[in-house]
Amino acid sequence: MAQAYMTETGSGGQGPDRRGSRLRRLLDGWRGDRGIWRRGIILAACAVFLALVMLLHAQIPNRIGNLGSLTETFLPWLGVFVPVLLVLGLVRKSVTALIAVLLPAIVWLNLFGGLLTDKTGTGGDLTVATHNVNAENPDPSGTARDVASSGADVLALEELTASAVPVYEKALASTYKYHSVQGTVGLWSKYPLTGSRPVDIKLGWTRAMRATVDAPAGQVAVYVAHLPSVRVKMEAGFTARQRDKSADALGEAIADERLTRVVLLGDLNGTMNDRALNAVTAQMRSTQGAAGSGFGFSWPASFPMARIDQIMVKGVEPVTSWTLPETGSDHLPIAARVKIDESAS
């Protein structure tokens, strides 16, 4: 009797026996069902298509609607469809669909699995930050105070308007002794700035600059850039071509830089996956990818979906990278700490 009682409570309780019985019932329901291989063919095809889009994203043409760059901007989000397809495959009781779902899951993990681990470190000797402050920012003074409180030694601001520049200069004066504004971008620094000048990125007006920061560990060339945004049209729109042309010009300027230690700060209106930024990304690496935790999405601030604001480095070692709290802008500020190799020149 005691043995029978234990068996009954074990199967009707909440322990491993009950969970095991549920699994057995699920498997028993599928066992002998010949349709489990025939059902879900459309779901399986969708899974294969999703895997191919992620795997061959560089082959998606930009000729129509700038579709390639658009896909690459939001490429990590394609992984959302993997659990959706998994659930649908279970509902349909389709082994074919469930096996096919493994393909996009493996491709996604191969592309972005490394971003799921925490690579942040300690140390470093220079903290940098960048923020697209938004030309329509209702509280530039508050935004300036917020980013200054990050502890950044070097701060880049983009989308500065002529009327707002004096406000930022006044709000940041007590934290940063040196600064330079070139067109709609500016650089503030706790260390001396030399060689400040605009960088021609083929726009007809100034949205990029370069300066040398005389940091205690050595000189660093710092570039600030705000590339044009991409507009999705039935044909590759003018602004898309403009962004691509500007990215190429920025890449050429960085390639010609005489200093070996280079930091790029700015709103590039593209992610590291976007082939339109190849002229830049081919020679620099992202601090978020090298020393961050997670994807570090920066736009839009209310619900970040893409990291189009970037901190990239060449000749310096990223130590840690992070996003800062929301300000009055539609972008989140981002920051990074790097280690300068004093032996480099």
Choose the final residue of a domain: 77, 95, 116: 116
- Does residue 81 sit in the same domain as residue 179? no
Residue that wins the pLDDT comparison between 186 and 92: 186
* pLDDT tens readout for residues 214-225: 999 999 999 999
CA triplet 125, 131, 137: central angle to 5 degrees?
150
- Does residue 112 sit in the same domain as residue 134? no
pTM score, two decimals?
0.86
What is each CA distance from 338 to 105, 226, 271, 287, in whole angstroms?
33, 22, 21, 8
* pLDDT tens readout for residues 262-312: 999 999 999 999 998 999 999 999 999 999 999 999 999 999 999 999 999
Q: Which of 277, 274, 327, 263 is nearest to 299 (CA)?
A: 327
- Does residue 180 sit in the same domain as residue 109? no
Q: Kindly tell me the burial class for residue 276, based on how many C-beta atoms sit within 10 Å of its own C-beta (0-12, 13-18, 19 or more).
A: buried
Task: Look at residue 128 and give its three-state secondary structure.
Answer: strand
pLDDT at 234: 47
Q: Please check whether residue 221 lies inside any domain of the structure.
A: yes
- Does residue 151 sit in the same domain as residue 49? no
- Does residue 241 sit in the same domain as residue 213? yes
Above 50 in pLDDT, residue 197? yes
How far is it, in rounded angstroms, from Cα 244 to Cα 101? 35
What is the domain count for the chain? 2
* pLDDT tens readout for residues 76-99: 999 999 999 999 999 988 999 999
Q: Which amino acid is at 119?
A: K
Q: Please check whether residue 187 lies inside any domain of the structure.
A: yes
Q: Give residues with Cβ within 8 angstroms of 69, minimum separation 6.
A: 62, 230, 240, 270, 274, 275, 276
Residue that wins the pLDDT comparison between 70 and 235: 70
pLDDT at 65: 74
Task: Identify the domain containing residue 76 by its residue range.
Answer: 32-116
